[in-house]
Amino acid sequence: MLSMLVPVITLLALLGSGMMAGLFFAYSNSVMPALAKLPAPQGIAAMNHINVVIQNPLFLTIFMGTALLALILVAAGLLGWSAKPSWVLIGAGLYLAGNIVVTVTINVPMNEALAASGEGPDGIAFWATFLDRWVFWNHVRAAACTGALAAFAMAIR
């Protein structure tokens, strides 16, 4: 029964990956450069507010829902329920490793450290290194989600 749902699950994972790729692309190419041009205390405050607001049901549904779909697709790929298991596994691996793992181990801890550092001298010192490192890893997330999108497209092609 699940094998009949694999194409639909793959399409949903493709859409979720694409939405996340677009979000990360927008951050890297507009949001973060704009915040970098603000005085440090304002940039820190804005980033901290964004980090609170983004944790909403719609974002979390797409972000974690796509991860759940990717895990299902790993099982489908390994069990031979997909017509193109290698593409399904590549897409799932890119989404899970390049997005979920990077987010949980790098970007979120950096966000938490930024919030804890405040807008004073410690926060301002951290902000300078935060921008470069956070954006680099955000580029990784954007590329991984774009790669996942392409792999899922190949899986349903």
Rg (CA), the chain: 17
DSSP state for residue 80 in the 8-state scheme: T
Say if CB 148 and CB 95 are below 8 A apart.
Answer: yes
155: pLDDT strictly greater than 70 = yes
Question: pLDDT per residue over 79-131, tens digit each?
Answer: 999 999 999 999 999 999 999 999 999 999 999 999 999 889 999 999 999 99
pTM of the predicted structure, to 2 decimals? 0.95
d(C-alpha 127, C-alpha 43), whole Å: 8
